[in-house]
C-alpha cells in the first residue's frame, strides 16, 4: 500500500505539492482519501497492541532499549542518509537549484517540499518513539498493579464511541499531524484491543462495523466536510481488526518474508519513489507511462536496496532491520549448547 499511496501523492489534486508534483488526477485523490481513514490509525493502534504483548515479556528498561534500537537509531540514520535526497530533489524540481546540504541548514514548514529540513516519511518513527516513552510510566504502573486488559463486557456501542478520544486528541497538530490523536489510538490499542473477548466481538460484528464505517465516511465526505474524521477512522480500525482476525489468520513463505522485510521496505520506499519520479518526468509527460514506470522501478529499487542492506550487519543495525530467522535460531542453539 505504501507504493501506490505515495506514487499517487505525486498526482494529488487537493493543493499539496509533495516533493514532486505532476498532473493533478482525480483517482489518486479518491484512493488516498480512502487510505487516509485507516492507514495511520491502524498502525498506531497495532503499535499499542504490540506494546502490550512486549511489556508482558520485557521489563520497562528492556522495552526502552528496544524502542531506541528499533525506532530512534533508524530515525537518526534515516534522516542523515535516506531522507535528504527527497528534499534535495524537491529543491531542484520546484526552485530549479538546490544544495544537498540545504536539508541540514534550511528550516521552514517541516514538510521538506521546498527543499528544507524534514523527517519525511520517518515522522512515524519519531511520533511512535515519543508516544511509547511518554506512555511507558503509565503502562508500566498499570501492569505492576496486575490489572488485565479492558473492554471485555463493554457493549459494542461504547466501543464505537471510543472514537471520540482521537477526536479530542486531534485538536493539537504539529506540521499537519496530531501526536495526541495518534497517542489516543496507541492507548486504545494497548488497553482495550488486546482483550480477547473484545476482539471476538469485533470479529462477530465485522460487517456491521464495516457498514458503520462506510456510512460515517460518507458523512465526513459529503455532509460535514471533514469534521470529526477520526470517528470514521476508529470505525475502520475496528472493522479491519474484525475482518483481519477472521480472514487473514494464515502464514506461508511470502507472508513470512513480507513480515520480516516490511520495516526495511517502509524505510527506503519513499526516497526511491521521489528519485524515480524525478527521472521519469524528464523522459515523458504521459501520465499513463509515468505511473506504472515510477511504481515498478521504485518497487524493484526498494526491494533491491533492502536485500543488500539486510546482508550487511552494520547497516542492518543502523536501520533496525530484523535478523533472518535462521540466524536467530542458530544463535539460540549456540547459546544453549545446541539444545
Q: For residue 215, what pLDDT is reported?
A: 97
3 state SS for 16-39: CCCCCCCCCCHHHHHHHHHHHHHH
Same structural domain, 214 and 138: yes
Give the number of domains in the chain: 2
Q: Residue 215 contacts by C-beta under 8 Å, 6 or more apart in sequence?
A: none
| Nearest Cα residue to 31 out of 302, 295, 247 | 295
**pLDDT tens track for 149-201:** 788 888 999 999 999 999 999 998 887 789 999 999 999 999 999 999 999 99
Burial category of 196 from C-beta neighbours within 10 Å (exposed 0-12, middle 13-18, buried 19 and up): exposed
Across the chain, what does the average pLDDT equal?
Answer: 90
Dihedral sign for Cα atoms in the order 298, 259, 43, 173: negative
How far is the C-alpha of 85 from the C-alpha of 154, rounded, in Å?
49
Q: For residue 324, what pLDDT is reported?
A: 57
How far is the C-alpha of 112 from the C-alpha of 259, rounded, in Å?
29
Q: For residue 323, what pLDDT is reported?
A: 61
Q: For residue 37, what pLDDT is reported?
A: 95
The answer to whether position 2 is within a domain reads no
Same structural domain, 279 and 167: no
Same structural domain, 241 and 316: no
Domain extent for 245: 26-83+119-249
| DSSP assignment string, 125-143 | HHHHHHHHHHHHHHHHHHH
Same structural domain, 30 and 79: yes
Secondary structure letter of residue 177 according to DSSP: B
Could you tell me the pTM of the whole model? 0.89
The answer to whether position 101 is within a domain reads no
Choose one of 206, 230, 249: the last residue of a domain: 249
Q: For residue 325, what pLDDT is reported?
A: 52
Q: For residue 152, what pLDDT is reported?
A: 84
Ranges of residues in the chain whose predicted pLDDT is under 50? 326-339
Amino acid at each position: 500500500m505504501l507504493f501506490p499511496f505515495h506514487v499517487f501523492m505525486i498526482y494529488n489534486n487537493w493543493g499539496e505539492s509533495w516533493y514532486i508534483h505532476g498532473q493533478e488526477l482525480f483517482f489518486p485523490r479518491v484512493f488516498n482519501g480512502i487510505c487516509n481513514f485507516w492507514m495511520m490509525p491502524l498502525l498506531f493502534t497495532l503499535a499499542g497492541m504490540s506494546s502490550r504483548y512486549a511489556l508482558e515479556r520485557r521489563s520497562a528498561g528492556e522495552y526502552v532499549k528496544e524502542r531506541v534500537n528499533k525506532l530512534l537509531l533508524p530515525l537518526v540514520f534515516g534522516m542523515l542518509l535516506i531522507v535528504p535526497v527527497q528534499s534535495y530533489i524537491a529543491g531542484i524540481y520546484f526552485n530549479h537549484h538546490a544544495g544537498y546540504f540545504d536539508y541540514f541548514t534550511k528550516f521552514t514548514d517541516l514538510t521538506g517540499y521546498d527543499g528544507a529540513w524534514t523527517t519525511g516519511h520517518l515522522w512515524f518513527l519519531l511520533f511512535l518513539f515519543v508516544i511509547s516513552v511518554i506512555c511507558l510510566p503509565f503502562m508500566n504502573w498499570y501492569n505492576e498493579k496486575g490489572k488485565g486488559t479492558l473492554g471485555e463486557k463493554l457493549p459494542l456501542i461504547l466501543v464505537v464511541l471510543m472514537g471520540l478520544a482521537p477526536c479530542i486528541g486531534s485538536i493539537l497538530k504539529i506540521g499537519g499531524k496530531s501526536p495526541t490523536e495518534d497517542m489516543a489510538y496507541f492507548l486504545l490499542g494497548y488497553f482495550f484491543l488486546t482483550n480477547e473477548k473484545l476482539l471476538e466481538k469485533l470479529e462477530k460484528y465485522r460487517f456491521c462495523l464495516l457498514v458503520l464505517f462506510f456510512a460515517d465516511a460518507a458523512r465526513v465526505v459529503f455532509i460535514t466536510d471533514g469534521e470529526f474524521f477520526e470517528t470514521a477512522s476508529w470505525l475502520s480500525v475496528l472493522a479491519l481488526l474484525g475482518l483481519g482476525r477472521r480472514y487473514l489468520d494464515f502464514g506461508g513463505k511470502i507472508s513470512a518474508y513480507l513480515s520480516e522485510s516490511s520495516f526495511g521496505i517502509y524505510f527506503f520506499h519513499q526516497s526511491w519513489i521521489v528519485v524515480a519520479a524525478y527521472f521519469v518526468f524528464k523522459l515523458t509527460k504521459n501520465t499513463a507511462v509515468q505511473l506504472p514506470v515510477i511504481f515498478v522501478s521504485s518497487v524493484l529499487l526498494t526491494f533491491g536496496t533492502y536485500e543488500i542492506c539486510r546482508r550487511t550487519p552494520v547497516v542492518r543495525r543502523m536501520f533496525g532491520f530484523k535478523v533472518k530467522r535462521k540466524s536467530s535460531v542458530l544463535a539460540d542453539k549456540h547459546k544453549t549448547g545446541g539444545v
